[in-house]
Amino acid sequence: MSKAPVAPPAHVSGQTVPDFSHSSLPRHVAIVMDGNGRWANARGLKRTEGHRAGEAALMDVIAGAVEAGVEVLSVYAFSTENWKRSPAEVKFLMTYSRDVIARRRDELDSWGVRIVWSGRPIRIWKSVNREFEKAVEQTKHNTGTVLNFCFNYGGQAEIADAAGKIARLAAAGKLNPETVTAETVARYLYHPQLPPVDLFIRSGGERRISNFLLWQASYAELLFLDLPWPEADRLTLWDCLLWFGGRERRFGTAVDRVSPAY
């Protein structure tokens, strides 16, 4: 039996969640939490202090997603390419992500958040894996916002892993390669039940995807913010959700709207 969720604490400004009932809300929001290192360096601090400051931003944005009723929030915490950073920074990111999940697990659980993890298990420290597993297990019956914590995650790796699973089934005679479609591939992603990404946000000023949710974001609306991640909060998220409500999504279709002026 899961317990009734409690509301997250209010935003420091006292501002409450806007009424989204008249605009379309994205089911799945993906965030590249970028700009931590530059934010810290610009303040005369080491890069790792930027990661540290990102924790409060993450918790506030999750609170905002819960309040707005976003179904899935995917956050990019460590990419398959981030191993190229200095050993000290990689070590910090391992330890820090593990500790954030460990110390925030009960709070997220109390808000009704279901935590899932996306990524490759190889190379992740055992103690980090253990904390992720604990959080997933503890929150698995929650029915609120899903927090998809992407750690040692790469979009290409996820698609390659799906291709590998399909190839193994085909080699074992359990799947006919002639019948493979996009839907087949989607079934072998890390979390096939999650809906496609509707809104893809990247903080930190760069206009790139950096290998995040390549398959799932194929029709996402892209929003690039100059704001560094440590300065983001739920108000930032709500602004993004309002912007999304004004987008016209076409998914390849077209509408004739001849201008009356001609």
Which residues in this chain contact Mg ion in the complex, by CB under 5 A? Answer: 34
Question: Which range touches ligand IPE (CB under 6 A), out of 13-21, 29-37, 173-181, 217-225?
Answer: 29-37
Q: Compute the distance between CA of residue 9 and CA of residue 117 in angstroms, rounded to an integer.
A: 25
Residue closer to ligand IPE (CB basis): 8 or 37: 37
Q: Compute the distance between CA of residue 200 and CA of residue 217 in angstroms, rounded to an integer.
A: 7
Give me the residue label for tokens 């995040």.
212
Q: Is 211 a catalytic residue?
A: no
Residue closer to ligand IPE (CB basis): 36 or 142: 36
Contact pattern for ligand IPE over residues 198 through 227, marking x by CB under 6 A: ------x-x-x-x-----------------
Contact pattern for ligand IPE over residues 91 through 110, marking x by CB under 6 A: --x-----------------
Query: Taking each helix axis from N to C terminus, what angle separates 87-110 and 126-139, rounded to the nearest 10 degrees?
Result: 20
Q: Is 78 helix (H, G, I), strand (E, B) or coil?
A: strand
Residue 34 CB, nearest distance to Mg ion (Å)?
Answer: 4
Amino acid in position 1 = M
Sign of CA dihedral 232, 149, 199, 158: positive
Catalytic residue among 19, 36, 60, 82: 82
Query: CA of 235: how far to CAs of 12, 38, 83, 107, 143, in Å?
Result: 10, 22, 32, 20, 24
Q: Which of 26, 29, 30, 32 binds ligand IPE (CB under 6 A)?
A: 32
Q: Is 99 a catalytic residue?
A: no
Active site residues: 34, 82
- Which positions lie near ligand IPE, rule CB under 6 A? 32-38, 76-79, 82, 93, 204, 206, 208, 210
